[in-house]
Amino acid sequence: MNKGLLIVVSGPAGSGKGTVNGKLLESDAYAFSVSATTRAPRPGEVDGVNYHYVTREDFERRIRAKEMLEYTEYCGNYYGTPLRETLEALNAGKNMILEIEVEGALNVKRVYPEAVLIMLLPPSFAVQEARLRGRATETEEKILERLERTRAELPELSHYDYVVYNYDGGADTCADDIRAIVRAERCAVRRHRTAAAEYFETH
């Protein structure tokens, strides 16, 4: 059984990362990491499915014990990726998808350099803005906040491995791009450091 790949997918609001990742998860070869959080479950949310709901004390103990692959604090609550669960799924051959933002993604790469960082982007900032304005649900304040965040984060793209553009209606193409990236990464020589020696030893 080959180890799975840790795939970090980031993307600004309007990039469609939820839809694209949903398509990848249709296959058994991919799994989604369930995050831990200190925020209270909302009606309908299930512990262990939407999140692992833990106390603030427990979360901070996990951070100190280095049991979190990455974590962030947002609006007074912690959110993070449990390390052991993720490693177990990788060892079982699953390609694990982490849908996290830029800061968390770069932290994952530091802790687990074999991770593949993929940035999903709308075709352009202009298209992103049009998509956000097209969502009747968003307030102007929220839209501007999200666009501002994209401006601040996008220079970090240079630390990512791949960039995938999501054109209108292009979620299937994006999922195919990510599947190709995973297939190619499995062939990368830097993931087969002992290949030359093994070639002569295997019978």
Of positions 56, 133, 135, 192, contacts a copy of itself by CB under 8 A: 192
Q: Could you say whether residue 101 binds a copy of itself (CB under 8 A)?
A: no
In angstroms, the CA 109 to CA 115 distance is 6
Smallest gap from residue 52 Cβ to a copy of itself (A): 32
The first and second tokens of residue 44, run together, are: 């309908």
Distant-in-sequence, close-in-space partners of 67: CB < 8 Å, separation ≥ 6: 82, 83, 84
Alpha helices in 39-97 (DSSP H): 56-64, 83-91
Best CA proximity match to 79, nearest among 71, 91, 89, 90: 71
Residues 172-191 that bind a copy of itself (CB under 8 A): 176-177, 179-181, 183-185, 187-189
Question: Binding pattern to a copy of itself, positions 107-136, x when CB under 8 A?
Answer: -----------xx-x-xxxx----------
How long a stretch of residues is the chain? 203
Binding residues vs a copy of itself (CB under 8 A): 118-119, 121, 123-126, 151, 154-155, 157-158, 160-164, 176-177, 179-181, 183-185, 187-189, 192-193, 195-196, 198-203
